[in-house]
Structure 1
């Protein structure tokens, strides 16, 4: 494609995140260039151990020399800049730069470093050095941070700025005001950086590690900073080795950051080391999984190590080099890919910020005043539960938020999921209702829509017509082993039984006549060893609303799936999804194979990525179990006439009449090209 900026093409970004005596020019030649990276996020040149920031007087000349050598090798240079913490010498020289708690204690990071305040005089020093470095021949700048501690900084600079913004003392700040203050502070800092950079060299790329699928606890709000960066990124590839970390964790973050990028490039930061163990690398198997999941979903790859480059001799390090060679060889197939999915799940930033957080006690008083006493659910856990259902069943889906719901893009979807999306503005809610009236379908759970965008309780009146509800009564809570649901046909047909385990939290609702019952649930039992109960309450219903349908679950079923993983509950949700929208593909591959469909408009072709994650039920995974003899049935917007395979990774045959691809054996990763 012509007229693309350099960073709009597929990037393989090297990030050596420390320097303990290595020669930086050796790193450039032996690791970056020989390792088949095409871009370097440069920390080690100016580093003191793991900390690096740019000082023009100290660093300019060596940076110029490094850039010359990098250009000889066609390596783009992005300058790393730590904007969130400093070492003790800088703290001692500038104590006013450091964030301060309510108790007037300095805020530390990583035990031995000090958190910088972006409202302090440190910003003046940063902006001065920024102006100078932008005159050099750098290609980009990466801001590591900027963030504010979750409890909020209370230094003198923040005290003054808060008073100027809100007309009151920071010591009297409400939770909501502190969230707004932190977001405003970070956004203004990024905006000023963007403006100074553009005034000198607008071709320089600026990006940072954006917040993804979490509340705005640090002030870094991806929606707010997006206009002031050229690329978005998230640390979805910082994978932990513990029994609570799921390998399904990564994909929803990639999908979310793609949506927030609005067509801009996006990158997944992938650590070569097992987090939090900087000197213990991932296995070759897990390295490939992390790498290929990133690029399969259209992201650039950032591969970082937090130890000297000798660690790349490990199997994981060598696997990363091999992945780079594959990506380099077939980079055309990773260029400007996009989703054509018909299903989306909502990550509600408003719910994340204002619903599950500790807010003013008057919120509970208000709840009593309006007669709405429903106990809160968990948006994040519910979101993760639904994402796991779709990933395991190869459902192709997007992750969207409030911005999408209030734009024309909402109409590209046949089905949208709302997992405990409690907080909704009037604008969002009316847009959703219009979408359903026009023929769209939704799945909503628990108290979705019962709060406004700032977390104030409004009750069920605003959603009762959409859900087909007469009344929402109190929350019912179940002890483990005392909740069961019966599922009606045809939704029970593929289950092990028409009786399944039920969620542990439920809103007791009554419904209007004509609302279809899909699953009923018992009232809480006296214990697990009693007679089987009557199914007295509705758990899942379908309400026709205009031309569309609202599938409503009064229980916290997404949270329940996330915490337990009961297969029949997942099968039921998958059946509801696939009955109401095009999933694009159906596959007989096991749930441990991730299947990703992407479209390249400029080449008019699809790529179908198969990522095998079938291990030996332990982590870290040392080896994969090959998957043999499975099929993929296509239901794409376009007819497919030809199927080829990159690098002959698998043998694939295509039955055009039945739109079905047969695969003989998948070892680790394969890319099929569909035209």
Structure 2
């Protein structure tokens, strides 16, 4: 099995047997090399393979797949009881505190992982041992607290008290450990049947359910890291972040530890399964994943004749493009020298809002802090996107990768272990620059407030324990570093900040005005309160802003703050790949291919509306690159870029996407 895959998926089956058996040829013609197979054993939109029911059809189908050069990954649903087994809910279903059976998607009960359903499921897995398959994709499992008699008895055995007396934290831990136990047991089962089989789950990377140690345990049973970075919108499209797919791929790569990654890209406009995305949105999502090192799973939740459309034509063009350049994508690595730190310890313990999803659910963080960690991290991702800045993600799971970067952006990195603290300080001491804000290092990894901030001594500031309410009408300034385009050179202050005192060796480079009570109370006073420090540490430095700058940027996308961060990041990063004349809607990623070339992926989300039916066409973009590159060609449009001078190439037009090969 190759590392980079083009995976097809038909997530239902409303076809005849003849039509079903024709699908391998259809997928092969489309350009796919693998199928995540559901529809031969579909149970409406779910699937669990049962040998007596599905065996004969699967034998015929596998022969057709082999004849068409398609590898097979078997889909198995492990979070709901589909319609054919829903009548066994009393035996297998999750119950709520009232004894009812909550319905996922409004239709199906969830499966209890402490029931005999597990034995049934494992037997179904073993029954596939005669088939030549790559392995399994397991859709689930559910993170639902179950109140059935089996779960109550198991809880009482472990905790020594009644299930009804459990705290919310105990129930959450019990549920999580049940899921991890199921995943680990399933991994052992799969490998015992065929050690060569791979398996992976549908992982929610931004849920905030697990801290870094538990998230590492969660991923131990995944041979591929897959996530629904291409399942959207669920929410009003205008509120959907244009960087959702790319940031998902970046975080997947960060936690993968060298394992392959895949972005699950649903071809439909969620949650309308029979209504496809526009061709433009299809291209933007596909190239966003491809440009960040991920394989593509492209799935539809409708009949395949829906692909006989303009969207289907675009999807086919994308898969064929991927196939044509297969060798380029088999092994790539990012050349970004900027990274955003996504903290699983902070996400698990800090207050954060959640996005709607059909599977992942919400975190249960009990530590209600002042900020919103999701908004802070998305603000950092959005900032890099708006700056067309190549960037990666770093988490507690890949601290060793810090040495690859020159700048680390740490949005409200509040909860940190001593190990993480030391890794960041080592990064700065070796010449890296940390850009952080608000409650940076205020707590340990479990959410316990530290007596002194973890970075206080190194960065030269202390938290007073108080917070300042700047509301939406106060100001800050960075005199001598950045001057906003107004007479007073002020920037809008983010809505709240941590009050700090400053000590040697810190240099104050930002100040905030004393908060006014109201917008029209008085002339705003000059900023005098210490608000930001820039401190040398070893061969690098720590730049800290007391205000919730990244959270504010996500909410307001203020131009002055974007310019400020562009200057701050640019001062310390290598700036080897720069896109000039672009709008804030153009994202750029840069990766080195094993085929001795560099690939620059551009995705142009510039549009008045979302969904995008056509991106605004941009003209005369200048791509600045290291002068070692002598030629540049856009593989997507098959046009050469005009060289302007050593290290600069002209991209005359950019529609939705460009894939520029540099040699």
Task: Tell me the TM-score normalized by structure 1.
Answer: 0.90
Alignment of 1:151-550 (within 5 A): 152-216=145-209, 222-240=215-233, 241-356=236-351, 376-405=370-399, 408-480=400-472, 482-492=473-483, 498-529=489-520, 530-550=522-542
Counterparts of 2:315 and 2:505 in 1: how far apart (Å)?
A: 57
Picking from 119, 135, 138, the partner of 1:124 is: 119
Counterparts of 1:89 and 1:220 in 2: how far apart (Å)?
A: 38
Match of 1:3 in 2: none
The alignment partner of 1:338 has SS state of strand
**Stretches of structure 1 lacking an aligned partner (at least 5 in a row):** 1-5, 365-374
Match of 2:545 in 1: 553
Aligned: 1:633 with 2:627: no
Offset of residue 323 of structure 1? 0.9
Deviations 1:173-222 (A, max 9, x none): 44444443333222222222222222222222211211212212799965
Picking from 11, 19, 22, the partner of 1:17 is: 11
Is the 8 Å Cα contact of residues 459 and 535 (structure 2) preserved in structure 1? yes
Aligned: 1:592 with 2:573: no
Counterparts of 1:317 and 1:268 in 2: how far apart (Å)?
A: 18
Match of 1:50 in 2: 45
Is the 8 Å Cα contact of residues 377 and 556 (structure 1) preserved in structure 2? yes
Counterparts of 1:466 and 1:227 in 2: how far apart (Å)?
A: 35
Distance 1:517 1:302, change over 3 A: same
Aligned: 1:674 with 2:625: no
Match of 1:579 in 2: 571
Aligned: 1:653 with 2:604: no
Distance 1:399 1:512, change over 3 A: same
Is the 8 Å Cα contact of residues 41 and 47 (structure 2) preserved in structure 1? yes
Offset of residue 522 of structure 1? 1.4
Counterparts of 2:374 and 2:573 in 1: how far apart (Å)?
A: 24
Picking from 67, 70, 77, the partner of 2:65 is: 70
Distance 1:154 1:421, change over 3 A: farther
Offset of residue 301 of structure 1? 0.8
Is the 8 Å Cα contact of residues 341 and 583 (structure 1) preserved in structure 2? no
Is the 8 Å Cα contact of residues 439 and 548 (structure 1) preserved in structure 2? yes
Q: What is the RMSD computed on CA atoms of the aligned residues?
A: 2.5
**Stretches of structure 2 lacking an aligned partner (at least 5 in a row):** 353-362
The alignment partner of 2:2 has SS state of helix
Is the 8 Å Cα contact of residues 21 and 60 (structure 2) preserved in structure 1? no
Is the 8 Å Cα contact of residues 209 and 364 (structure 2) preserved in structure 1? no
Deviations 1:548-605 (A, max 9, x none): 21111111111111111111112112221121222431111222222210012x3332
The alignment partner of 1:258 has SS state of helix
Offset of residue 514 of structure 1? 4.4
Counterparts of 1:396 and 1:171 in 2: how far apart (Å)?
A: 51
Is the 8 Å Cα contact of residues 640 and 656 (structure 1) preserved in structure 2? no
Distance 1:63 1:609, change over 3 A: same
Counterparts of 1:132 and 1:458 in 2: how far apart (Å)?
A: 53
Distance 1:604 1:164, change over 3 A: farther
Deviations 1:444-468 (A, max 9, x none): 2111211121112224343321331
Alignment of 1:139-154 (within 5 A): 139-149=134-144, 152-154=145-147
Distance 1:674 1:494, change over 3 A: farther
Counterparts of 2:124 and 2:157 in 1: how far apart (Å)?
A: 27
Is the 8 Å Cα contact of residues 230 and 285 (structure 2) preserved in structure 1? yes
Is the 8 Å Cα contact of residues 257 and 398 (structure 2) preserved in structure 1? no
Distance 1:648 1:531, change over 3 A: closer
Is the 8 Å Cα contact of residues 231 and 265 (structure 1) preserved in structure 2? yes
Distance 1:497 1:232, change over 3 A: farther
Is the 8 Å Cα contact of residues 234 and 267 (structure 1) preserved in structure 2? yes
Match of 1:84 in 2: 79
Match of 1:372 in 2: none
Is the 8 Å Cα contact of residues 134 and 197 (structure 1) preserved in structure 2? no
Counterparts of 2:23 and 2:576 in 1: how far apart (Å)?
A: 43
Distance 1:656 1:535, change over 3 A: same
Is the 8 Å Cα contact of residues 343 and 397 (structure 1) preserved in structure 2? yes
Is the 8 Å Cα contact of residues 346 and 399 (structure 1) preserved in structure 2? yes
Task: Tell me the TM-score normalized by structure 2.
Answer: 0.92
Is the 8 Å Cα contact of residues 459 and 505 (structure 2) preserved in structure 1? no
Is the 8 Å Cα contact of residues 600 and 659 (structure 2) preserved in structure 1? yes
